[in-house]
Amino acid sequence: MIARSPEPDHDDPTADGFSRAGRGGVNRDAAGLKPLSRRVRTVISVLLILHLVAIASAPLAMEPASLVAQKVFGFFRPYLDGAFLNHGYHFFAPEPGPSHLIRYELALPDGLTENGVFPDSEQHRPRLNYHRHFMLSEFANQLAVNESQQSTLHELSRSFARHLMRERNAESVTLFLRRHYIPSPHQVQTGTTLDSEELYAERPLGTFFRNEPTEQISSSRRDGIVPVRLTGELTAGEVTR
């Protein structure tokens, strides 16, 4: 006769030789953990809610936005800027603005001229590398539209020029800030493509030389961007107005 062992009592957490912690739970007594007090949990919950409101306030404050949304964003902006959470939502919605490139004309020692732009989707790969260059050109535009930052824009342009001349062994380089507008619904309906010349505008950033510190800086309208008619992919022709 085979004797059967007694069935374990399922109400006893240790009857089968396993504790609750062994089943994936947390044995707070064994781990020395104590539950958080109601006050601490309340404080944590309030902080999480404020954090979520702060995150939501940035995109909600993009124009067109209500006065309430803008005031909420203004309150949380120091926190968002300090935590690097105030991203460029206006670039994507609700009304995306133009993008910006840096176009350059290099004068080589053999007398030839090399044209290019950055960022360049064919040259700057993977996408993260393209994005890094894109942030440089967008930063240049932020300086260009701020009259108090023209000296900083000049120094940034000089750094671009030094890098390009060193990389290409060029004698001089002329830089342009190129703005690429988004076509309006009417333009799309009338056949305007994304690469149509009417969507581009440029501002000269200056001509820089390898062996002399002087530069020739051109200026234009208040925001420094003037429409140009392009005769080729990278070559600027006459100013249209």
Name residue 202's amino acid: E
Q: Note whether 116 and 217 are same-domain residues.
A: yes
Give the residue numbers spanning the domain of 82: 21-89
Calpha distance 174→154 (Å, rounded): 13
Q: Note whether 145 and 36 are same-domain residues.
A: no
The H or E element that residue 118 is part of is strand 113-118
Instruction: Tell me the two tokens of residue 81.
Output: 């800027």
Low-confidence ranges of the chain (pLDDT < 50): 15, 18, 21-22, 214-241
Q: Note whether 76 and 113 are same-domain residues.
A: no
10 is a domain residue? no
Q: Note whether 158 and 193 are same-domain residues.
A: yes
Q: Note whether 105 and 146 are same-domain residues.
A: yes
- Is the whole model's pTM more than 0.85, yes or no? no
Q: Note whether 114 and 222 are same-domain residues.
A: yes
- pLDDT on residue 215: 47
Q: Note whether 84 and 104 are same-domain residues.
A: no
User: How far does CA 21 lie from the centroid of its chain?
Assistant: 46
Where among 89, 110, 143 does a domain terminate?
A: 89
- pLDDT on residue 12: 55
In this structure, the chain runs to a length of 241
135 is a domain residue? yes
Where among 62, 89, 116 does a domain terminate?
A: 89
- pLDDT on residue 9: 56
- pLDDT on residue 211: 78
217 is a domain residue? yes
Q: Note whether 85 and 120 are same-domain residues.
A: no
Where among 89, 113, 143 does a domain terminate?
A: 89
Calpha distance 3→59 (Å, rounded): 72
Instruction: Please report how many Cα atoms fall inside a 13 Å half-sphere around the Cα of residue 137, on the Cβ side.
Output: 24
Using alpha carbons, select from 185, 159, 172, 181 the residue that is nearest to residue 227.
181
111 is a domain residue? yes
Q: Note whether 80 and 104 are same-domain residues.
A: no
Domain count, the chain: 2
Q: Note whether 73 and 149 are same-domain residues.
A: no
5 is a domain residue? no
